[in-house]
Structure 1
């Protein structure tokens, strides 16, 4: 028996068994596969079913058993739980029983091979998908007909300590790739290798003659070589002869030479040399396959880059033309130049189409290659705007221009690095903490204000969260309680002015709404404690807790619409309502995150108003008197200034912080199911995923509502805002385009693609969030109507 081990002191080897295959080795005929759900019933029914019995006694029968329960149990209860260990014990007993049933059914004929393996492992906190050895290393246990025996060894070295922990240091460990299991099974059955298999036959697992092994590995090499030749022929047919560059390491002459030498070695019974040369051919063929799979990558990459650069340039020109004072008021269009550009780009488009038709390229190639043309045409037709921009830049001091572009580039890189290293956000927040102090020093303002100190303190507090662990931590309800009590305390202090004097803007019915929200917040704190206590005692989720949780979630976006639309009151109502839901979805320190973030957003609003006043654009309304529903169309207030680029960057940075502050891509892929236990405990990936997505969106909504206020406070055009955000996101997307991977773990590949997709869709996502924020801030539901009494 040949074994591949997977370390985990809290699991047994059988806990990772996923499938069972039974094969009749001898004989010929087509392979028949049976997927088993209830093996005992299946074989019992075969005794009374002559048709099924005859099929099961044919040659080359494959029985497939999928043990899914361990995967579900590991996610729900974690591998160290009592439930999981009992499940492992039950699987152990079941596997032993199934093997006995198979041996009895076939009368111990010695023609049966067993292969146990798994598609992935699992971490101690019940997740998988990343590149950790506990997730990527899986067991491969094989025995029976055609399978070799384990071999003892004096010493062997591996980077992991799995052998030592399993006390198997003296048994030879034979590691293979997951793709190698398919040719292994095909060799045991005695059938051709799967057509598109890219696995290499692990000869060490076979108990057969050297001749059979050398013939099998040669067949394996020829099978992969044929894939290489087909792929090369396809690419050669669709590429102009003078542009085609073949894979030089495996020319046709070298293919023939290697195959000839392998067959010669086999005929001379030099099997070791034949096997070594066949593996070399397999390695070269796989490398060539990868070469032709990515043959057009550079060509398509250049097209994509040109499209990005053209689109970003066009957006920048539109911002300068429509939202700044850098261009001349009236720009006459040069018809001669426009006509020249039109014919030039049209000719280029025709040539590209002819080129792609000759190469019989897929239709997507036309999109990639032709899309940059209209974009760059739109850029060059704005040549007068380009002239105005160049004139403005030439008039600016060189040091100022270089400093601005340097800071902008550094800011973009901070955003990009934060997708990979959350600690980057910590460094940036610490730097942001000193921004108001630096700004006051540059503006020549004296003294410190409480709002400036508050910004510094809150930035420092928020900087702690990206340093905290995301996955693999135990639930701790204490921070959840603390976050709830602090929110209640802030809400209580916000009510003090209403107890001291009657407000003209807040009536008693709206005060009642806020008090009810505070009561609901208190109830959420209790539900979290009650639910986790009940689950800890194995009593399940109380029905009343589940009802209250879902009710809180359903009304979290409705209740704020009952509050007044004045800035402070509406923002407070939104925060308290969303905080109630966030507490129900929290299991630890992350419950404090929206509290600190919301306080920082409120301070940001005040600082931006103060900054605008010192820039000479004083806003007449005080912050406390601004009404969302009565705000004027801000597009008519003023044009963009350089400081608005900083505001847009702050906005994007806070959006990124809202996502990565307490999580990352991995935390979505391997989230803690305990986060949704106040809503449901039955494993339901779609419902759980939806709840986790809403938890992630709540900080986004808080940031967007704050920025809706900033737009009004600083008289900022929302249209120009999204154009600036579009520029930032496009530059980031271009960066992530070069970082997309097609190799590695699920997490490596998925994360690189997710980064690119997230940044590409950022503007659309923010526009949708802006729409939601506008509804939350400007709309109002009225259940009470004042009755007017007319004198008679």
Structure 2
């Protein structure tokens, strides 16, 4: 290979094994150190990934606060909360194609009986955090979503806790979260098996209503139950899951989903009529809303308006009547989101509601609204702003309600301030609220003087300051943690660089020499100083009662830099070696590092705009073709192939991320995959005499391997047929036959085992892997991503050809007789030293790995997980199995690129693990960038995406390592040319 050592060195490139002093024992020492580095990297990235929650998203739950009671009598004795899970606002408010509105009862409520608006959820727009915001009034720590659907990471206060009694019916994933630990609750859930994505799930909503109807019927024969129902401060909760399940299964524009909107409207009407006739006292309040919306592709989770905008309708006791507007013109109504950006979305004309006042809320505002309606103290951890526009109160009561809401938020600030002050060696108070008692005294004076307008303004001011104070203590340790984590990442990368240079480049000889010359006393002093510093920092953190993770952050960072300081002599030797190079070598080093940084920054930008890949591959196709022309003149077809394959792949990142259903395209993609397999098979046999192709083609002529190819082709065709058959039958009969399910599972499993028995030449094995993973990918596809699979494989083949051209030009052209190539094939896997030019391999890998992320969607968005992809394998709701299938589908392109990466490292005789460490270094440059891009303010889409981007890059060290281990099963016995042929002039 042309080029010097990875840090710009030149001269002889020694074998990594031959260079190590001590022979086998030294090699074992290197392997031991690498296992330790991998374990350290996994631990470090796992711990540091959690740091964003300590920096930006600390759990808002604090205990030890007293509730704030209301100082006026409520208008309602009981409250009914109806939550239509997964109901997006526009599908609820807009008319159907015939001009008829889907929710006639609730629409009549908005016009004649109550108030309406849009409730704005906050990402992650999932069922658990949405319900926590509605019922408990705070935005749950995003990390709590990872704890599952059932268990509460920390017990919290809610409207249900404060009620006299709560009746709840609905999903087994939601109701137990709030009722399991509430003794004054009566609840029931249906079995998980009822959540079948192959059927119309609106019956789940009817089940919840039937349970409640049966409860009221039983009360006529049960005096104790009757007595409970007649109490005040009663809460009734019906969780209606139908829209969510039907949205996932059939998309929110399907007739089944839109009909489910009519179902929940009918249930709301039935509940209203049932309770009004049962109690007949006009003391019941009703709230209808949703926990999140649903994207057009049938998913949710991110901050897109289709997921965050949900309907809110309130009526009954204590709720204002509709207010007519004189003008339909829209203006900023003063509403602000949680993150303070303006609400400026006008009411769409097609909703037909512009003449009726609309009162928007943040989702957490619903909890104080419900509590105030029935006279309950607001949940103690609520950050909701009481929406007075819904409440029918006089001026004095409005001020009292606002003051109770303000005191409850102020109590949280005071408690957090007290906790932080009790543990801090140097406490920095929030100065604007140091004299909070004077604010409260002033408000009381305004109330006594009946100056309600001034009292209300003072309440708003104090509440805003209290929320700002809460944010201050949420990010109290921001600067310290950001500094420690950044130093930790930098220390980790420096350690990796030193290891790569020491173990995989010719500069490792300098380390061996300096190791012999160095004094162990200096190393001991460095480690002793590191231990003392670690002990001192841990002692300080202990005195401040800091979380356990704080100790981990500091200890890891100190340990990493201690490792670096212990190798100062080696670092000095490297610096001297670099500084002695001529200007040309130094300029080359700087140019390659700058180009690497530019490519990494491009990859960072691509997380926000996937269409950048379209331009990238259009340009890359031209550059790669030009490179082929220069390296191996006359290879016009090869250059044209690489250019066209890059252009073909560029199409997919310009297509919409929301993949439309297109089963005929998936069906046709199976035959395209078979054609590509046949073309590869033909190349493998017809190019055996071509000098350049001999690097990767050496097919076995045995009938056994021919039969394997035929079997794989048949399985791909069968999977295409099963796509058509399974989907057609499920659409027509609303079910997945067990025989279809068993056939799909069998095809997927068998097809992935066959590549293990394929020929060991590079092209044969990679073709077999391509065909082997095609059936499960097709069975998990719903649209154009099935074609992406073939396009991606074509580009990977182009990468292989590019490296073959590099080898052909550098190693054999004019220096060796290629006719000797076939005679020298062997299992000799000795790797040469890494060189500066080899940095292209991890860089190309990073680009292709990221196009696998974004080629068919936005992997960094929670809402990109298309749940309908799994319906050919399972339809009964099973979150973990469904998630596993979704993730496996996303993994398949990654498996392909890593298999090709492994084959290339074998082909050009560079150490694969050394390249893996280079990939991790490059990934961590992006990780640091994303670490500083994490936000807890701004638009909700920006907040959610910033978290997922950082999380993806942090997890990549583990992610890639696991994929390497898995793909090694398929690539470990790949046969490559003998290392004897790599001793030409270019080395």
TM-score of the superposition, structure 2-length normalised?
A: 0.72
Alpha carbons of 1:708 and 1:420: their partners in 2 closer, same or farther (altered >3 Å)?
same
Aligned to 1:488: 674
Structure 1 position 510 matched with structure 2 position 705: yes
Aligned to 2:871: 677
Distance 1:30 1:322 in 2: 66
How far residue 748 of structure 1 moved from its aligned partner, in angstroms, is 4.7
Aligned to 1:24: none
User: For 1:124-135, what aligned pairs fall within 5 Å after superposition?
Assistant: 124-135=296-307
User: For 1:424-463, what aligned pairs fall within 5 Å after superposition?
Assistant: 424-437=612-625, 439=627, 446-463=633-650
Which structure would you say has the larger RCO, counting Cα contacts within 8 Å and 6 or more residues apart? 2
Alpha carbons of 1:351 and 1:677: their partners in 2 closer, same or farther (altered >3 Å)?
closer
Distance 2:525 2:731 in 1: 76
Structure 1 position 194 matched with structure 2 position 384: no
Which of 156, 159, 164 lines up with 1:31 in the alignment?
Answer: 164
Distance 1:460 1:343 in 2: 57
Q: Secondary structure at the match of 2:503?
A: helix
Q: Secondary structure at the match of 1:147?
A: coil
Distance 1:240 1:621 in 2: 74
Alpha carbons of 1:346 and 1:499: their partners in 2 closer, same or farther (altered >3 Å)?
closer
Distance 1:171 1:506 in 2: 79
Contact 2:302 2:945 in 1 (8 A): no
Aligned to 2:771: 576
Which of 387, 393, 400 lines up with 2:588 in the alignment?
Answer: 400
Q: Secondary structure at the match of 1:434?
A: helix
User: For 1:277-316, what aligned pairs fall within 5 Å after superposition?
Assistant: 277-316=458-497
How far residue 540 of structure 1 moved from its aligned partner, in angstroms, is 4.2
Aligned to 2:899: 705
Distance 2:290 2:599 in 1: 44
Contact 1:310 1:376 in 2 (8 A): yes
Contact 1:476 1:587 in 2 (8 A): yes
Which of 132, 137, 142 lines up with 2:314 in the alignment?
Answer: 142
Alpha carbons of 1:627 and 1:535: their partners in 2 closer, same or farther (altered >3 Å)?
farther
Deviation digits for residues 650-692 of structure 1 (CA, Å, limit 9, x no counterpart):
1122111112111223665344444333334444443332222
Contact 1:34 1:62 in 2 (8 A): yes
Distance 2:824 2:680 in 1: 18
Distance 2:853 2:823 in 1: 29
How far residue 747 of structure 1 moved from its aligned partner, in angstroms, is 5.9
How far residue 632 of structure 1 moved from its aligned partner, in angstroms, is 2.5
Contact 1:7 1:161 in 2 (8 A): no
How far residue 48 of structure 1 moved from its aligned partner, in angstroms, is 0.3
How far residue 734 of structure 1 moved from its aligned partner, in angstroms, is 1.4
Which of 224, 227, 251 lines up with 2:434 in the alignment?
Answer: 251
Distance 1:361 1:440 in 2: 59
Deviation digits for residues 34-58 of structure 1 (CA, Å, limit 9, x no counterpart):
1144121010000000110111112
How far residue 477 of structure 1 moved from its aligned partner, in angstroms, is 2.9
Q: Secondary structure at the match of 2:716?
A: helix
How far residue 538 of structure 1 moved from its aligned partner, in angstroms, is 4.2
Distance 1:675 1:146 in 2: 46
Aligned to 1:786: none
Q: Secondary structure at the match of 2:236?
A: strand
Q: Secondary structure at the match of 1:114?
A: strand
User: For 1:187-266, what aligned pairs fall within 5 Å after superposition?
Assistant: 187-241=372-426, 244-252=427-435, 255-266=436-447
Distance 2:310 2:870 in 1: 29
TM-score of the superposition, structure 1-length normalised?
A: 0.89
Alpha carbons of 1:741 and 1:12: their partners in 2 closer, same or farther (altered >3 Å)?
farther
**Deviating more after overlay: 460-469 vs 302-311:** 460-469
User: For 1:175-186, what aligned pairs fall within 5 Å after superposition?
Assistant: 175-186=360-371
Deviation digits for residues 198-233 of structure 1 (CA, Å, limit 9, x no counterpart):
111112222122111111211211111111111111
How far residue 81 of structure 1 moved from its aligned partner, in angstroms, is 2.0
Which of 260, 264, 270 lines up with 1:91 in the alignment?
Answer: 264
Distance 1:419 1:504 in 2: 40
How far residue 367 of structure 1 moved from its aligned partner, in angstroms, is 1.4
Which of 941, 947, 968 lines up with 1:753 in the alignment?
Answer: 947
Alpha carbons of 1:554 and 1:378: their partners in 2 closer, same or farther (altered >3 Å)?
same
Q: Secondary structure at the match of 1:65?
A: strand
Distance 1:686 1:370 in 2: 35
Q: Secondary structure at the match of 1:115?
A: strand
Aligned to 1:563: 758
Contact 1:557 1:776 in 2 (8 A): no
Q: How many positions carry a matched residue from both structures?
A: 762
User: For 1:521-600, what aligned pairs fall within 5 Å after superposition?
Assistant: 521-538=716-733, 540-600=735-795
Aligned to 2:836: 642
**Deviating more after overlay: 766-775 vs 210-219:** 766-775
Alpha carbons of 1:339 and 1:777: their partners in 2 closer, same or farther (altered >3 Å)?
closer
Alpha carbons of 1:624 and 1:668: their partners in 2 closer, same or farther (altered >3 Å)?
farther
Structure 1 position 6 matched with structure 2 position 180: no
**Deviating more after overlay: 670-679 vs 712-721:** 670-679
Aligned to 2:331: 157
Contact 2:243 2:261 in 1 (8 A): yes
Contact 2:699 2:759 in 1 (8 A): no
**Deviating more after overlay: 153-162 vs 300-309:** 153-162
**Deviating more after overlay: 72-81 vs 714-723:** 72-81
Deviation digits for residues 375-401 of structure 1 (CA, Å, limit 9, x no counterpart):
111112212221232223322425434
**Structure 1: segments with no counterpart, 5+ residues:** 22-28, 781-792
**Deviating more after overlay: 179-188 vs 740-749:** 740-749
Alpha carbons of 1:261 and 1:539: their partners in 2 closer, same or farther (altered >3 Å)?
closer
Aligned to 1:787: none
Distance 2:308 2:820 in 1: 55
Q: Secondary structure at the match of 2:501?
A: helix
How far residue 539 of structure 1 moved from its aligned partner, in angstroms, is 6.2
**Structure 2: segments with no counterpart, 5+ residues:** 1-74, 76-86, 108-117, 120-126, 136-161, 170-207, 333-343, 689-697, 975-987
Distance 1:745 1:684 in 2: 32
Aligned to 2:63: none
Aligned to 1:722: 916
Alpha carbons of 1:746 and 1:42: their partners in 2 closer, same or farther (altered >3 Å)?
farther
Alpha carbons of 1:5 and 1:348: their partners in 2 closer, same or farther (altered >3 Å)?
closer
Alpha carbons of 1:614 and 1:621: their partners in 2 closer, same or farther (altered >3 Å)?
closer
Q: Secondary structure at the match of 2:752?
A: coil
Alpha carbons of 1:330 and 1:695: their partners in 2 closer, same or farther (altered >3 Å)?
same
Q: Secondary structure at the match of 2:513?
A: coil
Distance 1:432 1:640 in 2: 24
How far residue 778 of structure 1 moved from its aligned partner, in angstroms, is 4.2
Structure 1 position 739 matched with structure 2 position 933: yes
Aligned to 1:270: 451
Distance 2:234 2:363 in 1: 22
Contact 1:130 1:745 in 2 (8 A): no
Contact 2:699 2:761 in 1 (8 A): no
Distance 1:150 1:5 in 2: 22
Alpha carbons of 1:386 and 1:430: their partners in 2 closer, same or farther (altered >3 Å)?
farther
Q: Secondary structure at the match of 1:42?
A: helix
Distance 2:288 2:953 in 1: 42
Alpha carbons of 1:624 and 1:82: their partners in 2 closer, same or farther (altered >3 Å)?
farther
Q: Secondary structure at the match of 2:607?
A: helix
**Deviating more after overlay: 619-628 vs 93-102:** 619-628
Q: Secondary structure at the match of 1:558?
A: helix
Which of 405, 412, 436 lines up with 2:600 in the alignment?
Answer: 412
Distance 2:821 2:887 in 1: 33
